[in-house]
Amino acid sequence: MTDDATPETPAVAPTAALHFDPVPAVARMLGLPAGAVGAVVALLDEGNTVPFIARYRKELTGALDDTQLRTLEERLTYLRELEARRTAILDSIREQGKLDAALEARIMAADSKGRLEDIYLPFKPKRRTKAEIAKEAGLEPLADMLLADAKSDPAAVAARFVDAKKNVADANAALEGARAILVERFAEDADLIGSLREEVWSAGRLTAKVREDKKEAGAKFADYFDFSEDLSKAPSHRILALFRAQKEEVIDIAIESENKTTASPNICLLERMCVSREPTPQASLLVAKFIPGFSAVATAMAGLIGTRWRVFTLFDSLGALLWAGAAVALGAIFSDAVRDILDVLETLGKAGLLVIAGGFATAILLKLRQRRRFYRQLRMDRITVDELRTLLDEGRAPSVLDVRAISSQQRDGRIPGATAVDSRNLHQAILAIEPAGEVVVYCACPNEASAALIAKQLIQLGFSRVRPLQGGIDAWIAAGYVVDH
> Is residue 252 a part of any domain in this protein?
yes
- Helix (H) or strand (E) holding 155, with range, is helix 154-159
Q: End of a domain among 141, 156, 188?
A: 188
> Is residue 232 a part of any domain in this protein?
yes
In which residue ranges of the chain is pLDDT below 70? 1-19, 257-309, 374-375, 377-378, 407, 422-432, 434-435
- Our count of domains for the chain comes to 6
Q: End of a domain among 226, 257, 288?
A: 257
> Is residue 6 a part of any domain in this protein?
no
Contact 284, 301 (CB under 8 A): yes
Please tell me whether residues 60 and 101 are part of one structural domain.
yes
Please tell me whether residues 116 and 34 are part of one structural domain.
yes
> Is residue 263 a part of any domain in this protein?
no
Please tell me whether residues 183 and 199 are part of one structural domain.
no
> Is residue 162 a part of any domain in this protein?
yes
Contact 251, 221 (CB under 8 A): yes
Please tell me whether residues 302 and 278 are part of one structural domain.
yes
Question: Per-residue pLDDT tens for 294-320?
Answer: 565 565 555 545 566 677 777 777 877
Which residue range(s) make up the domain with 71? Answer: 23-122
Please tell me whether residues 433 and 468 are part of one structural domain.
yes
pLDDT at 282 (0 to 100) = 57
Please tell me whether residues 178 and 249 are part of one structural domain.
no
Please tell me whether residues 179 and 214 are part of one structural domain.
no
C-alpha distance from residue 337 to each of 8, 182, 213, 353, 354 (Å): 75, 59, 46, 17, 20
**What is the CATH number for 414?**
3.40.250.10
> Is residue 216 a part of any domain in this protein?
yes
> Is residue 301 a part of any domain in this protein?
yes
The Cα 54–Cα 48 span in angstroms is: 10
Angle at 396 between CA 392 and CA 397, to 5 degrees: 50
Contacts of residue 13, defined as CB under 8 A and 6 or more positions apart, other chains included, come to 45, 47
Question: Per-residue pLDDT tens for 322-337?
Answer: 878 887 887 778 777 8
Please tell me whether residues 142 and 166 are part of one structural domain.
yes
The Cα 199–Cα 191 span in angstroms is: 12
Report helix, strand or coil for 331. Answer: helix
> Is residue 264 a part of any domain in this protein?
no
Please tell me whether residues 161 and 213 are part of one structural domain.
no
pLDDT at 279 (0 to 100) = 42
pLDDT at 440 (0 to 100) = 92
C-alpha distance from residue 83 to each of 34, 79, 180 (Å): 20, 6, 33
Please tell me whether residues 352 and 422 are part of one structural domain.
no
Strands 465-468 and 438-442: parallel
| CA atoms within 13 A of residue 365's CA, in its CB half-sphere | 6
C-alpha distance from residue 273 to each of 64, 230, 259, 391 (Å): 47, 21, 10, 35
pLDDT at 277 (0 to 100) = 38
8-state DSSP, 371: H
Question: Per-residue pLDDT tens for 256-295?
Answer: 865 544 334 333 433 433 333 344 555 666 666 666 555 6
Residue from 266, 261, 270, 445 nearest 370 by CA: 266
| CA atoms within 13 A of residue 78's CA, in its CB half-sphere | 16
Please tell me whether residues 405 and 442 are part of one structural domain.
yes
pLDDT at 21 (0 to 100) = 86
Q: End of a domain among 207, 232, 257?
A: 257
Question: Per-residue pLDDT tens for 132-179?
Answer: 888 888 998 988 888 887 777 888 888 888 888 888 888 888 899 888
